[in-house]
Chain A
């Protein structure tokens, strides 16, 4: 039994939203099939750094633990990804953990992704079906289209594409790559298509679709393999047509 085997972590920590970040090293006992979350839990159970000093347990966010909620996104060995699906056996050591700096840091590895949800509200990324009376069943969606849309619907608002995007930063108000995909998803839905122009016009406002610089990092970084750059070009095409309609007018409802 290799009882002495340990895993070394270098964690970028930050005590408050405004304080300066610092690094702290930890060594946790190795267990087979461990992921980054279980290592963080081990640190929480025994918050002692590798100098043997008692320290505050590391804070992080998590929820589903199966890479569908997006809450535990952090920068692991330089790459933004989910901590739950980051297996220790597949990572180079020491494992470096840092918060996704594109977002406001709440504490340690915990970040505030509110701006993503605000962006979704801005572009009306939902399907309005509420009314004062029963509207009955909506239009049917062909099965092939449903399967295609399912791929787009895998977005979990994890923020990895924003972390990878060179145009999402404090100098711009670009909402980020994921919005293209959500606009395309809801515009493709037979009921959602009824509000297509509204969504496009909202997304054509400042901070919207023109913020994309085509570096295409988002599609490479997306943990769910969503064809974000295809969505970008598709929404760009729709926005081109929408802008012509806005300018010249259209007799199509």
Chain B
């Protein structure tokens, strides 16, 4: 099997999107949601995350490298597809398009978000409630964060749906319809969590 690199790359891309990136997204949303309990509660949760043993190893192996791979290969996938929703305006074709659009938006958002928070922290800005409050002090950034967070959550939720097709978990049309509902409920619930978090810093 000389030429099955594409198979490996694509399946790795699919897997990394759920484990560890998807799991990290869940943890990240949960930790940040502590902001709804006030500055104290958010700082406690953030400090706990910072106190994890082997933090840098975890960050690099479970977040940074998988994210980088998923992002670069994802861009390749997105830009080798075409848009034909005008001719074929079916629901799943729109989801196909949205998955690619939200992927690109998420990449831009995450790059900026990491720069503003994790990299800034590396250069000495303490990562706490105050930092996020400062970031979200302009209406533009609030909009940017809302769009970015909702894109990331959509990309994750709908990605779960296609993960289940790509690995052959949901086969029949009925199972795929059910998983559409389930993943869209996940999208709505996580979006509420994300939006509540953003507004907790305002």
> A-side interface residues toward B, CB under 8 Å?
78-79, 164, 166-167, 169, 171-172, 201, 204-217, 220-221, 227, 229-230, 232-240, 243, 246
- Complex Cα–Cα for A234 and B162 (A): 13
Whether the pair B82, A214 counts as a contact (CB closer than 8 A) is no
Whether the pair A166, B84 counts as a contact (CB closer than 8 A) is yes
Tally of contact residues, B, Cβ under 8 A: 37
> B95 to chain A: which residues have CB within 8 Å?
215
User: What is the chain B residue whose CB lies nearest that of A203?
Assistant: B7
Given known A230-B171, A240-B167, contact A214–B92 (CB-CB < 8 A): yes
> A221 to chain B: which residues have CB within 8 Å?
88
Given known A166-B81, A214-B96, contact A240–B88 (CB-CB < 8 A): no
Whether the pair B7, A217 counts as a contact (CB closer than 8 A) is no
> B2 to chain A: which residues have CB within 8 Å?
205
User: What is the chain B residue whose CB lies nearest that of A216?
Assistant: B92
Whether the pair A204, B172 counts as a contact (CB closer than 8 A) is no
> B96 to chain A: which residues have CB within 8 Å?
166, 213-216
Whether the pair B172, A210 counts as a contact (CB closer than 8 A) is no
Q: 1/0 per position for B158-169, CB-CB distance to A under 8 A?
A: 000110011111
Whether the pair A234, B166 counts as a contact (CB closer than 8 A) is no
**B124 CB-CB contact with A under 8 Å:** no
Q: How many A-B residue pairs have CB under 8 A?
A: 109
Whether the pair B4, A217 counts as a contact (CB closer than 8 A) is no
For window 61-111 of B, CB contacts with A under 8 Å fall at: 77, 79-84, 87-88, 90, 92-93, 95-97
> B170 to chain A: which residues have CB within 8 Å?
233
Q: Which of A201, A210, A229, A230 makes the CB contact (< 8 A) with B1?
A: A201
- Complex Cα–Cα for A212 and B10 (A): 10
User: What is the chain B residue whose CB lies nearest that of A233?
Assistant: B171
Q: Which of A217, A227, A240 makes the CB contact (< 8 A) with B84?
A: A217
User: What is the chain A residue whose CB lies nearest that of B168?
Assistant: A237
Whether the pair A166, B82 counts as a contact (CB closer than 8 A) is yes
Interface centre among B80, B88, B92, B172 (most CB of A within 10 A): B88
User: What is the chain B residue whose CB lies nearest that of A80?
Assistant: B87
**B37 CB-CB contact with A under 8 Å:** no
CB distance from B13 to the nearest CB of A (A): 9
- Complex Cα–Cα for A213 and B97 (A): 10
Given known A167-B81, A216-B92, A220-B88, contact A210–B7 (CB-CB < 8 A): yes
